[in-house]
Chain A
Amino acid sequence: MANREVILEVKNLNVTFGKGKKKFEAIKDVSFQIYKGETFGLVGESGSGKTTIGRAIMRINEVTSGEILFKGRKINGKIPRDWDREITQKIQMIFQDPMASLNERAKVDYIISEGLINTKNYSSEKERQEKIRNALLQVGLLPEFASRFPHEFSGGQRQRIGIARALVMEPEFIIADEPISALDVSIRAQVLNLMKHLQQQNNLTYLFIAHDLSIVRFFTDRTAVIYKGNIVELAETEKLFSNPIHPYTRALISAVPEPNPYKERSKKVEIYDPTQHNYETMPPSFIEIEKGHFVLANEEEIARYRETRRMGVSM
């Protein structure tokens, strides 16, 4: 694990909206690393800041303080023009709602090649067409679809177009912000399978932002749980789900209804009470409680979490 190449690093990131009285801290001192080739999940409820982190990496939202490093080089703030162009191409995004994220008045051909045109990433018209053709084939659409308009497609097909638009740039890192939330159950599976397949084939790294924990558990390698702008827990996905430590993570996991009526009837949902922490007198920090398993807690809480674990009580 220790030798794995870090592709993206977020260091003490703060994002603040507004000024003075209206100031709102959306992201508070968040740090994490994403390894090359993995799928990193970011889960949280609406307003938690998960999308803001994604947008900060995309450089849509301005960073108030802190650093975002791509392959060890800073990408936020003032950066050289050629580096700017390179990351514009290397970091791509897939959006949530395929009904809203495609230009209704443009043909698929233009939608997919817009990025190419902006970065002049092709030498001839023939090469451009070839790239579009490849992108469409990779996402399981016919090359002929290039001459059609978005309204001629179903939701699942539209999301494939959204993925093709990202792929055509030959990215290394893709931010997928709730890519399947707007899709039907059977289409979800198709899109997830496609994303997995493309990841293996093109050696992609994903930042997968979602609120649906069952999909995150299935799809991601490591997961960070975010609550009101703070990452409260980060671990390998299976570890996080089988052994959640932070009370918010536990509440979140217990709230997800499972497709098993027997379990559901007897299940007790935990409720998270943010006032339980005594952070005024003893501020928390992000502590590695176990190799690769981080939790936001103060010393007293860490001692308690460790104690509970030693007693052999499953937490």
Chain B
Amino acid sequence: MVDEKNKILSIENLVIKFTLRGRELTAIRDISLDLYKGESLAIVGESGSGKSVLMKSIIGLLDKNGYIDQGKILYEDYDLAQFKTENDWLKIRGKEIAMVTQDPMTSLNPLKTIGKQIEEAVILHQGLKGKSAYEKVLQIIRDVGIKDAERRYKQYPHEFSGGMRQRIVIAIAIACNPKILICDEPTTALDVTIQAQILQLLKNLQEKYHLTTIYITHDLGVVAKVADRVAVMYAGDIIEFGKTDEIFFNAKHPYTWALISSLPQLGEKGKELYSIKGTPPNLFNEIKGDAFAPRNPYALKIDFVERPPYFKVSDTHYAKTWLLHPNAPKVEPPEVLKKFFEEGRQYANG
């Protein structure tokens, strides 16, 4: 999987800032990330960690007051960080990189039939017309698991349930024939039984349409279900990334530890659930050292002074924590987590 040739998108030293009431906020603090063809990457983080901002920047949907301060976003022959006009983005958005958003209620046009909405994308991005465009739409409707395509084509969004609407949003994204599909909390607004169906659908489509997918989520259960690789974000930085198994069962960064430990599945009934003290840092201020240090019970002195670089755990697994420095004291993860890791390893061995 770590094969330079298979890189489809590459983010290099990206810094994104926002201007808010005359003050400057750094939302993305020097992030580098590679995306490989055909993989499914999950970006995990809490609200305000910058996961949505990062994804918006690669399809040119940053809010007006946000801008790329430094860094590159390399896709094929383009550096998306240099794109200025809407015309530039039209070459990429939809056609190459498409996005499925959280709320299917607001991302559809209530005044147009769903068939027409999918057809727009087919005509614009696949260059089909008339009957062939219509046929293509019907095929896509069937591909996203909606039965009775001819009748459904003529219906309006309000005639569909939440889960069905999300299928239509996905259909529109697929109709653009993108290479990369970004799914921003695709199932947060849906019930669990529907969530399971939509996640399965996305997995099937990924295979059928040879997509590379990025999931943005805060739900580690969803991550376990869909992702090959995981990147964990905190305060505008990717503090750890690796294969899904590596992040779940061999995490190295204390924030990743804390995130997994606070899952109710790891809690023992009647006892306190592990919780992270304090709140995330204010991104208006300059962050010194490791952003997680003030909330980190394992913080070393150096964590407050110097920002840690990535330390290598394996060829695919890196973490930004001084605890991995050869001179650092040896620190064990919390007890509950050790048990969880142990269980995971048992699964891995059969």
| Chain A contact residues, CB within 8 Å of chain B | 45-46, 154, 156, 184-186, 188-190, 192-193, 196, 211, 213-215, 217-219, 238, 251-252, 254-264, 269, 271-272
Chain B CB within 10 Å, residue with most, of A186, A215, A251, A262: A186
CB of A262 within 8 A of CB of B344, answer yes
CB of B265 within 8 A of CB of A258, answer yes
**How many angstroms between the C-alpha atoms of A272 and B225 in the bound complex?**
20
Q: Assess whether B110 is interfacial by the CB under 8 Å rule.
A: no
CB of B193 within 8 A of CB of A259, answer no
Do A45 and B262 contact each other (CB < 8 Å), given the known contacts A186-B275, A259-B220? no
Taking A184-B47, A259-B260 as known contacts, 16 extra A-B pairs with beta carbons closer than 8 A to each other, sorted by chain A number, are: A45-B193, A46-B191, A188-B264, A192-B264, A193-B273, A193-B275, A251-B193, A252-B193, A257-B195, A257-B219, A260-B248, A260-B347, A261-B224, A261-B227, A261-B248, A263-B224
Do A261 and B262 contact each other (CB < 8 Å), given the known contacts A45-B192, A255-B195? no
CB of B264 within 8 A of CB of A261, answer no
Contact with A along B294-308 (1 / 0, CB 8 A): 000000000000000
A sample of 14 inter-chain contacts (CB < 8 A) reads A154-B279, A156-B279, A189-B276, A192-B273, A214-B221, A218-B269, A218-B273, A254-B196, A257-B195, A258-B224, A259-B265, A260-B347, A262-B245, A272-B193
Inter-chain contacts of B244 with A (CB < 8 A): 261
Q: Assess whether B311 is interfacial by the CB under 8 Å rule.
A: no
CB of A217 within 8 A of CB of B218, answer no
CB of B221 within 8 A of CB of A259, answer yes
Contact with A along B182-214 (1 / 0, CB 8 A): 000000000111011101100000000000000
Closest to B188 in A: A181
Residues of chain B at interface, number, CB under 8 A: 42
**How many angstroms between the C-alpha atoms of A252 and B265 in the bound complex?**
16
**How many angstroms between the C-alpha atoms of A219 and B192 in the bound complex?**
19
**How many angstroms between the C-alpha atoms of A71 and B269 in the bound complex?**
27
CB of A258 within 8 A of CB of B192, answer no
CB of A185 within 8 A of CB of B262, answer yes
CB of A211 within 8 A of CB of B262, answer no
Chain A CB within 10 Å, residue with most, of B162, B193, B221, B244: B193
Do A218 and B265 contact each other (CB < 8 Å), given the known contacts A257-B222, A260-B344? yes
Q: How would you classify the secondary structure of chain B's contact residues: helix, strand, loop or mixed?
A: helix
Q: Assess whether B258 is interfacial by the CB under 8 Å rule.
A: yes
CB of B46 within 8 A of CB of A218, answer no
CB of A189 within 8 A of CB of B221, answer no
Q: Assess whether B272 is interfacial by the CB under 8 Å rule.
A: yes
Contact of B196 among A186, A189, A255, A260 (CB under 8 A): A255
Contact of A185 among B162, B191, B218, B222 (CB under 8 A): B218
Q: Assess whether B334 is interfacial by the CB under 8 Å rule.
A: no
**How many angstroms between the C-alpha atoms of A256 and B269 in the bound complex?**
19
Contact of B263 among A214, A238, A251 (CB under 8 A): A214
CB of B192 within 8 A of CB of A185, answer no
CB of B196 within 8 A of CB of A185, answer no
Inter-chain contacts of A257 with B (CB < 8 A): 195-196, 199, 219, 221-222, 224-225
Contact of B218 among A154, A184, A189, A251 (CB under 8 A): A184
CB of B264 within 8 A of CB of A219, answer yes
Chain A CB within 10 Å, residue with most, of B47, B248, B259, B273: B273
CB of A262 within 8 A of CB of B265, answer no
Inter-chain contacts of A46 with B (CB < 8 A): 162, 191
From residue A218, how far is it (CB to closest CB) to chain B in Å? 4
Closest to B221 in A: A257
**How many angstroms between the C-alpha atoms of A46 and B258 in the bound complex?**
30
**How many angstroms between the C-alpha atoms of A34 and B61 in the bound complex?**
50
**How many angstroms between the C-alpha atoms of A190 and B295 in the bound complex?**
14
Inter-chain contacts of A251 with B (CB < 8 A): 193
**How many angstroms between the C-alpha atoms of A102 and B258 in the bound complex?**
30
CB of A186 within 8 A of CB of B348, answer no
Inter-chain contacts of B196 with A (CB < 8 A): 254-255, 257, 269
Closest to A45 in B: B191
Q: Assess whether B309 is interfacial by the CB under 8 Å rule.
A: no
CB of B263 within 8 A of CB of A259, answer yes
CB of B259 within 8 A of CB of A185, answer yes
Interface residues of B in 215-237 (CB under 8 A from A): 218-225, 227
Closest to A155 in B: B47
CB of B276 within 8 A of CB of A218, answer no
